[in-house]
Amino acid sequence: MALRYVTIVVAMKVLLISANRTEINMRTMPLGLACVAQAATEGGHAVNMLDLVQVDDISSAIGDAIDRFAPDVIGISIRNIDDQTMGNTRFLYDDDRKVIALVRKFTDRPIVLGGAGYSMFPEAILADTQADIGIEGEGEAAFALVLDAIQAGRVFDGLPGVHVKGGGPAAARALIRQPDNFPLPAPAFMLDEAAVRNDIWMPVQTRRGCPMDCSYCSTASIEGRILRKRTIENVVDWIGRLRRLGVRQFYFVDNTFNLPPSYATALCNTMAEASLDIKWRCILYPHRVDEALVAAMAAAGCFEVSIGSESGSDEILKKFNKRFHHSDVEQASKLLKKHRIKQMGFLMLGAPGETRSSVEESLAFADSLGFDMLKISIGIRIYPGTALAGEALRAGIINPGDNLLEPRFYFTPGLDEGWARETVARYSATRPNCITG
Ligand code: B12
Ligand code: SF4
């Protein structure tokens, strides 16, 4: 009999921590971290997950988890850096800093960072904390490579999207071409809270990447610009599994649920055929939303959409690099009302070129629509690498060396911010469905 050499893969113990502590808007569940957990589990590693939004005393929760599990590696997910509110900004990243420091207090094992917040500021956050490694963008494939390298005692140089403390720039990150290759997480990674709380909207992601390139948006640094879709069967199967376990409310966390419309309509039709008996919410890009899609959404259980309306002025929409006009928003809003889907609208005031008259135009426009809720932001968070950051630099609002981790906001120098705040305060005082931030 031929002699064979067998490689024995010794599993590593991986503790994954979701550092997010805020419940702004709603309590979110750590879907991204759960995806990484699933991928690491399938790579043969033993994974435990700790969601810090669910605990009161984070020091003992972290200490206990490390004592009991004795992890070889700790992965930490960083979601929100701040609440994107100019004036009275909440710097949520302070919580993440505390979490990383606590983990370091309890163990000297490698700490690997990832998540939406980390991906926007990979070098600044690594330099600012006691973490060892950071993964920019999607974590499933890259984390597996990092675990292999740690296990084999190899160096990390050249791993896509992987930053090492004190190292040079990371190699370009790789985007997952077919998301189905990484199965959605086992319900056990998501379920605890959803089973007991009826205000939880279970996140589902069907697509990654956004090609729209709005002037202020940082999403490309997390998901890239190439749209990649899960198969509809894969998505409906996941929802069905959770539904059988008692989950009824879902949130499609896709950046633009309706793009491409053919995919969105087919997804809704398949959900309706599966008679899932669910309620769901999503984010809509108000470009050519037609009745076939809205009717299909309603039939599939859509309860509310967030419409990225942003301004009532076509001039400003153009400055934001939006591919729609205010008339597209009108059309979408009318159809949603007709099909009894609730609508949350948004206005972002203070963009380049904003004037008193464009602010007034936006407020009047919002009144003319069927929004059930309206969120008005004054000032726009500036993210690295965006067209807005370039504009802010030219206007002298930021300097070339600013890393922007400490929140900075654009408010057009041509407009009096005090006037805008008073105008919005007067407006929202008589409209109970209006939130200002
Ligand atoms: C859907 C969404 C919402 C929904 C959430 C609904 C729900 N039930 O979950 C709602 C509307 C409620 C919401 C609210 C808010 N949101 Co939001 N939201 C999003 C959105 C569009 C998708 C998030 C998501 O679920 N992604 C899907 C998962 C699979 O991806 P992921 O978490 O990024 O994980 C991947 C990677 O990051 C990585 N990864 C993640 N963790 C880890 C850990 C390790 C160790 C590794 C290696 C890798 C890794 O791998 C994962 C899989 O590939 C993102 C934009 C975006 N595209 O990321 C904004 C985003 C996350 N939100 C943002 C903000 C600011 C907020 C609010 C503060 C806004 C506000 N003031 O109300 C609140 C905070 C809510 C809260 N309680 O935390 C910002 C965060 C910016 C920042 N870093 O500061 C983002 C990035 C939008 C943006 N471009 O500015 N949000
Ligand atoms: S559509 Fe949304 S996610 Fe896409 S670039 Fe614009 S703001 Fe960002």
* Contact predicate 97/88, CB 8 Å: no
Compute the average pLDDT of residues 42-47. 95
Whether 385 shows a pLDDT value over 60: the answer reads: yes
212 in a domain, yes or no?
yes
Axis-axis angle for helices 58-69, 93-106 (nearest 10): 40
Residues 158 and 222 in one domain: no
Pocket lining for ligand 2, CB < 6 angstroms: 210, 212-214, 217, 219, 255-256, 285, 308
Mutational test site, ligand 2, from 253, 256, 386, max ligand atoms within 8 Å of CB: 256
> Which two structure tokens, joined as six digits, stand for 385?
């690498």
Compute the average pLDDT of residues 207-230. 96
Pocket lining for ligand 1, CB < 6 angstroms: 20, 22-26, 28, 31-33, 35-36, 75-77, 79-84, 112, 114-117, 119-120, 135, 138-140, 143, 201, 203, 205, 217-219, 222-223, 251, 253, 255
- Tell me, in angstroms, the distance from the centre of ligand 2 to residue 219's CA: 7
Residues 319 and 405 in one domain: yes
Residue-wise pLDDT for 268-302, tens only, equals 999 999 999 999 999 999 998 999 999 999 999 99
How much is the pLDDT for 4?
42
Please name the residues in contact with 111: beta carbons below 8 A apart, sequence gap of 6 or more. Answer: 74, 75, 76, 100, 103, 104, 130, 131, 132, 133
Residues 21 and 124 in one domain: yes
Residues 69 and 214 in one domain: no
Residues 224 and 342 in one domain: yes
Altogether, the residues listed in the chain come to a count of: 437
Which pTM was predicted? 0.96
Which residue range is the domain that position 428 belongs to? Answer: 200-436
172 in a domain, yes or no?
no
Please name the residues in contact with 66: beta carbons below 8 A apart, sequence gap of 6 or more. Answer: 15, 74, 103, 106, 107
Residues 153 and 38 in one domain: yes
Whether 5 shows a pLDDT value over 50: the answer reads: no
Residues 146 and 242 in one domain: no
Residue ending a domain, choose from 119, 141, 164: 164
1 in a domain, yes or no?
no
- Tell me, in angstroms, the distance from the centre of ligand 2 to residue 215's CA: 9
190 in a domain, yes or no?
no
* Contact predicate 367/329, CB 8 Å: no
Residues 249 and 328 in one domain: yes
Residues 297 and 423 in one domain: yes
The enclosing domain of 104 has a CATH number of 3.40.50.280
Residues 305 and 428 in one domain: yes
Q: What SS3 string covers the chain? A: CCCCCCCCCCCCEEEEEECCCCCCCCCCCCHHHHHHHHHHHHCCCEEEEEEHHHCCCHHHHHHHHHHHHCCCEEEEECCCCCCCCCCCCCCCHHHHHHHHHHHHHHCCCCEEEECHHHHHCHHHHHHHCCCCEEECCCCHHHHHHHHHHHHHCCCCCCCECEEECCCCCCECCCCCCCHHHCCCCCHHHCHHHHHHCCCCCEEECCEECCCCCCCCCCCHHHHCCCCEECCHHHHHHHHHHHHHCCCCEEEECCCCCCCCHHHHHHHHHHHHHCCCCCEEEEEECCCCCCHHHHHHHHHCCEEEEEEEEECCCHHHHHHCCCCCCHHHHHHHHHHHHHCCCEEEEEEEECCCCCCHHHHHHHHHHHHHCCCCEEEEEECEECCCCCHHHHHHHHCCCCCCCCCCCCCCEECCCCCCHHHHHHHHHHHHHCCCCEEEC
194 in a domain, yes or no?
no
Q: Which residue has the higher pLDDT, 88 or 193?
A: 88
Residues 152 and 287 in one domain: no
Whether 421 shows a pLDDT value over 70: the answer reads: yes
Residues 145 and 209 in one domain: no
170 in a domain, yes or no?
no
Confidence of residue 157 (pLDDT cuts 50, 70, 90): confident
Confidence of residue 7 (pLDDT cuts 50, 70, 90): very low
Residue-wise pLDDT for 66-84, tens only, equals 999 999 999 999 999 999 9
- Tell me, in angstroms, the distance from the centre of ligand 1 to residue 220's CA: 13
The enclosing domain of 269 has a CATH number of 3.20.20.70
How much is the pLDDT for 9?
53
Confidence of residue 154 (pLDDT cuts 50, 70, 90): confident
Whether 26 shows a pLDDT value over 50: the answer reads: yes
Q: Which residue has the higher pLDDT, 87 or 332?
A: 332
409 in a domain, yes or no?
yes
Whether 425 shows a pLDDT value over 90: the answer reads: yes
Residue-wise pLDDT for 320-343, tens only, equals 999 999 999 999 999 999 999 999
Distance CA(126)–CA(160), nearest Å, equals 16
Residue ending a domain, choose from 164, 181, 214: 164
191 in a domain, yes or no?
no
Q: How many domains, in total, are found in the chain?
A: 2
Mutational test site, ligand 1, from 111, 222, 226, 383, max ligand atoms within 8 Å of CB: 222
Residue-wise pLDDT for 351-384, tens only, equals 999 999 999 999 999 999 989 999 999 999 999 9
Residue ending a domain, choose from 149, 164, 179: 164
